[in-house]
Structure 1
C-alpha cells in the first residue's frame, strides 16, 4: 500500500446548509368547504319541509271541501234513493198483482211475515237475459 495517499475527508454540507426537506402533504383544496355544504343541505331541507307543510295544508283543505260537499249532497242522494225505492216498490206490487191474480184470497202488498214489526223490502235485481 501506498502511504503517500491523502487522508480521506468527510463529506460536509455545502456552505449555507442543505435546503429543508418538505415532508408535509401539499394537497390542493377541491370543492366547497364543510360549512358551505352544511349550509346548502340545511337550506334544501328547510325548503323541503316548507313544501311538505304547504302540501299538508292543501290536502287538509281538499279533505274539508270533500266532506262539506258530501254533507250538502246527502239530502239530494237520500231523496233520489227514496224515489227509486218507491218506484221499485210500485213495480213489485204491480208484478205481484199480475202473478197472483188467479189465487183466491191473496192480498197484494200484504206482509208475508207474521210480525207487526217493519221489515224493509228486499231489493233483488235480476238482470234481463241478453
Structure 2
C-alpha cells in the first residue's frame, strides 16, 4: 500500500528576482604557437644546462681546494707517521734484542732476507 498523497502540492519555482544571467561566452585557453613553445622549451633546457655546468664548475673548484689542502697537510701527516714508525721500530728492536740475547752471532735489526731493497716491517 502506498502513502497517502499530500493535500497541498508545492511546485518548484524560480527564486525571487530570477536566476542569474548565463554568460554564453566560451572560455578557451590562450593559444600558443609552435614557435613560442619551441622558444620556451629551448630557453628552459638552456637554463638547465647552464645551471648544471655552473654546479659542475663549483664542484671542481671544491675538489681542487680539497686536493690542495690535503697536499699542504701531507708533509705534516708524513712526519707524524715517521715519528710513530720510529718509536714502534725502536720498541720492536728492544724486544728482538731481549728475545734473541741467548743466540750467538745474532745481529739485532739485521734483515733475515737477502735483499738490498729496504722494506718496512709488516704491521701486526
Is this a same-fold pair by TM over 0.5? Answer: yes
Give aligned pairs, total.
97
Pairing of 1:1-130 with structure 2 (within 5 A)? 31-114=31-114, 117-125=116-124
Alpha-carbon distance in 1 for matches of 2:68, 2:30: 58
Superposed CA RMSD in Å reads 2.1
Alpha-carbon distance in 2 for matches of 1:86, 1:29: 81
**5+ long unaligned stretches in structure 2:** 1-27
Alpha-carbon distance in 2 for matches of 1:124, 1:68: 30
Going from structure 1 to structure 2, the CA distance change for 1:104 and 1:39 (only over 3 Å counts) comes to: same
Q: Deviations over 1:19-57 (max 9, x none)?
A: xxxxxxxxx887522122112101101211210121121
TM-score of the aligned structures, taking structure 1 as reference length: 0.63
Greater Cα radius of gyration, structure 1 or 2 = 1
Misfit runs of 4+, over 4 Å:
28-31
Alpha-carbon distance in 1 for matches of 2:99, 2:89: 15
SS at match of 2:87: helix
Which structure has more relative contact order (CA 8 Å, sep 6+)? It is: 1
